[in-house]
Amino acid sequence: MGKILEVKKLKVSYHTYAGEVQSVRGISFDLNENETLAVVGESGCGKSVTAKSIMRLIQTPPGEIKQGSEILFNGKDILKMQDEELRKLRGGQISMIFQDPMTSLNPTMKIGKQIAESIMIHRGLNAKDAFAEAVKMLETVNIPNSDKRANQYPHQFSGGMRQRAMIAIALACDPKILIADEPTTALDVTIQAQIMDLMKDLQDKLGTAIILITHDLGIVASVAHRIQVMYSGLIIERGKTEEIFKNPQHPYTWGLLLSVPRLDAVNKDVLYSLNGTPPDLLKPPVGCPFAARCEYAMAICNESMPEETKLSETHSVSCWLQHPMAPKVKSPLNVGGAE
């Protein structure tokens, strides 16, 4: 599998009246062809800023992508692209879908026409052929009676159908990468599962590489090949999906996993919730950013940032508990854990 996207030392800040908010603090990761990478973490950890950086949608000012950051798409630095190249990239090569489809759908235009426009611009089809293609796209995303639905407006669609329509628009130009930023957050659980199934099907069918952004580790289990966990602008653990679920090593990942409702849980109503809040990104701590909330924190955790420890070819974690001198801690989950 070739690398289609390489993010290197990405650093993004926002300049505010209160000072410089360090939203993303030097993260590096790759996306392979035909793979779904999930980016998971609590609100404010830098997921959307990362996604927007890839699309070059960071508004400057107040935002700033720092010198030294690189985002290579097929080896070419997106951060150095000129307007014309960027336009092609955004419409034709990388597509993004957002949490709330109503902000991206045009309420005054029929759904079929919205999809057709994207097809006309990016694939050069005439209006009639593009519309026929749009109807096909609606079918692909499992919208029944697609020829009739194509002639309806967004307000005539349910929330789940709008999100499917958004996916159809995003895929209409046959992108190499689809970035889905919390594509199901506004939907109920059953519809969420359906949209996830759809993403999986589409990837099997079309082979699009997907970056799936969510705060909910639970919904990515069946869809993602790899998962990276973000915390306060950093990637603190990453691995194949089974490595993250079966052998998580960061106490923050444990917390996220404990917050996922489990079918085998003794008491299904009581869910674990992480205490405390992430650090202020105006003044990130010098040590591990999770230390203040971590029940296993040692003195060193507040003093210095842990290095990324490699646990396998694909799995790594940034935590002082990996240090050979650190006490052996048992994961609170009924799975592997640090032992």
Ligand X SMILES: Nc1ncnc2c1ncn2[C@@H]1O[C@H](COP(=O)(O)OP(=O)(O)OP(=O)(O)O)[C@@H](O)[C@H]1O
* Residue ranges that bind ligand X, judged by CB under 6 A: 14, 16, 21, 23, 41, 43-49, 62, 215, 281
Using DSSP bridges, classify how beta strands 226-231 and 234-240 pair: parallel, antiparallel or unpaired: antiparallel
| 46/58 Cα distance (integer angstroms) | 12
Rounded least distance, CB 170 to ligand X, Å: 18
Rounded least distance, CB 317 to Mg ion, Å: 23
Of the two residues 185 and 309, which places its CB atom closer to ligand X in the complex? 185
Rounded least distance, CB 223 to Mg ion, Å: 18
Q: What is the DSSP string of 27-51?
A: EEEEEETT-EEEEE--TTSSHHHHH
Of the two residues 19 and 68, which places its CB atom closer to ligand X in the complex? 19
Can you tell me whether residue 301 is helix, strand or coil?
helix
Using DSSP bridges, classify how beta strands 3-16 and 19-32 pair: parallel, antiparallel or unpaired: antiparallel
Q: Residue 321: name its binding partner from ligand X, Mg ion, none (Cβ under 5 to 8 Å by kind).
A: none
Rounded least distance, CB 285 to Mg ion, Å: 22
Q: Which helix (H) or strand (E) holds 229?
A: strand 226-231
Of the two residues 185 and 302, which places its CB atom closer to Mg ion in the complex? 185
Rounded least distance, CB 47 to Mg ion, Å: 5
| 123/337 Cα distance (integer angstroms) | 49
- State both tokens at 226: 């790899």
Place of tokens 């199901």: 184
Q: Residue 60: name its binding partner from Mg ion, ligand X, none (Cβ under 5 to 8 Å by kind).
A: none
Binders of Mg ion among residues 37 to 56 (CB under 5 A) are 47-48
Residue nearest to Mg ion as judged by C-beta position:
48
Residue pair 166/200 in contact (Cβ under 8 Å)? The answer is no
Q: Residue 289: name its binding partner from ligand X, Mg ion, none (Cβ under 5 to 8 Å by kind).
A: none
The CA–CA distances, whole Å, from 65 to 60, 90, 301 equal 8, 18, 28
Look at residues 255, 260, 257, 226 and name the one whose alpha carbon lies nearest to residue 243.
226
Q: Residue 281: name its binding partner from ligand X, Mg ion, none (Cβ under 5 to 8 Å by kind).
A: ligand X
Q: Residue 19: name its binding partner from Mg ion, ligand X, none (Cβ under 5 to 8 Å by kind).
A: none
| 119/127 Cα distance (integer angstroms) | 9
Q: Residue 44: name its binding partner from ligand X, Mg ion, none (Cβ under 5 to 8 Å by kind).
A: ligand X
Of the two residues 58 and 321, which places its CB atom closer to ligand X in the complex? 58
Rounded least distance, CB 230 to ligand X, Å: 7
Q: Residue 21: name its binding partner from ligand X, Mg ion, none (Cβ under 5 to 8 Å by kind).
A: ligand X
Rounded least distance, CB 267 to ligand X, Å: 27
| 285/69 Cα distance (integer angstroms) | 22
Q: Which residues contact Mg ion by CB under 5 A?
A: 47-48
